[in-house]
Structure 1
Amino acid sequence: MTSSVWQKSSYSGSNADCVEVRTIDGLIELRESDDGDVIVRTARSKFAKFLQGAKAGEFDHLTTS
């Protein structure tokens, strides 16, 4: 298995509660920097569509409880 280094946004600074991302075996993996036990893995094309939606504001109406 080919691995790469986890990366987070430079806007995160020294915050520990960020989303980290890496590419591994041609897939995108995401995890929370303060709890790396859960990793979400997806195809590059699906991640690109998610990013497009986020940039377009498609998820702005969602709230957390």
Structure 2
Amino acid sequence: MLDLAVRRERARAYELVLSEGTADDILGMVDGALLVDLWPDLVLPAKVRAAWAPLVEAVAP
């Protein structure tokens, strides 16, 4: 089990759910602000990163 209070473990959880989760998994787990914060550190397949990049980069500071 991953501890979402720990940044690296939260990043790993986001990597897993974005890459392998269902739409319901993503809706239930991913927080937009935390996703934007973690984005530069996430290791994602190119297809997944390309799908999410426009949304994340549109709101990233």
Q: TM-score range by the shorter chain?
A: under 0.3
Q: Which has the larger radius of gyration?
A: 1
Structure richer in helix, relative to its length: 2
TM-score after normalising by structure 2: 0.22
TM-score after normalising by structure 1: 0.21
Structure richer in strand, relative to its length: 1
**Relative contact order, CA 8 A, sep 6+: which one is greater?**
2
